[in-house]
Amino acid sequence: MKTERGMTVKKNQNKDNMEQTAGNSKKTAKAEEKEKIDSNKSEAEAKAEKEKAETQEKQETKEKSEAQEKPEEKDKKNDGDDKEKPSDIDLLKAYLGQTLEELQRLKEENSKLKEENENLNERISLCKDKFERLVAEYENFRRRTAVEKENISLDVKSKVVLALLPVLDNLERAMPFAGTNSESFEKGVEMTLRQFYDAFKSLGVEEIEAQNAVFNPEYHEAVMHVEDENLGEGIITEVFQKGYKIGDKVVRHSVVKVAN
């Protein structure tokens, strides 16, 4: 019994020793790992500080070099920087180019509008010409109608007068014989003649001048010719039948005898 209990105790002690050893080993590994991390961290920090120092040293060297740089080289460098950055002149040129393009566009648009305006003016001119022609044609038509109306009126009057002329002729022929008859006959014929003359006057009928006048074919019709040294050329010596006119329209030509 004692032997078994002793073995058990010993076994437990061994177990505790093993656990203690394992725990110590674990602590040792953690410590080593921590030391390793701290070591790496220190190396990284040292490396970073070294790089920072080197960078700062390079910057200082560059600044010293730039401070000692020749003015000409510095100007060239500045010129290079200026070339990379647009200057005010370049910006102004760009703005001017845009302005010129806009101006050209406006000129083209203005040219199109001008062409359209010219086309409209041409159409207006054509319409105006047509209107003026229509007005002129209407005025011509109105005048022509008025003239035709006047001619119709003259034609009607001429026909009336032409129908009455034979009666007038007979009355005038009867006058030379009135002295051999009664006084009442003569007065009746004279009164009839006056009535005819008044009627003609109201119609605008005028007797064409013929006796001792110069022959005019527009108003006179020559049926006889006589030589007379005492008379001038083309003088009407005798009227066989009186002529009449209304205005410028001849109703009947005068039938006459012409001298020389």
Query: Residue 206 in contact with residue 244, Cβ under 8 Å?
Result: yes
CA–CA separation, 223 and 219 (whole Å): 13
**Residues forming beta bridges with residue 214, ordered by sequence position:** 235
Taking only the tens of pLDDT, the chain with its 260 residues reads: 445 555 555 555 555 556 565 555 555 666 666 666 666 556 767 777 777 777 777 777 777 766 665 555 555 555 555 555 667 888 888 888 888 889 999 988 998 999 999 999 999 999 999 999 999 999 999 999 988 898 888 888 888 888 788 878 877 777 777 666 667 677 777 888 888 888 888 888 899 999 999 999 999 999 999 998 888 899 999 999 999 999 889 999 999 999 97
Distances (CA, A) of 114 to 105, 118, 163, 205, 257: 14, 6, 72, 66, 78
What does the block give as tokens for 133?
């022609």
For the chain, domain boundaries: 90-171, 205-260
pLDDT, position 2: 41
What does the block give as tokens for 131?
């209107």
Q: Is the dihedral of CA 212, 214, 215, 220 positive or negative?
A: negative
- Considering the domain 205-260, what is its CATH architecture? Roll (2.30)
Q: What is the strand order of the sheet 236-241 is part of?
A: 220-226, 254-259, 236-241
pTM: 0.40
How would you classify the pairing of strands 249-252 and 244-246? antiparallel
Which parts of 72-219 are beta strand (E)? Answer: 205-207
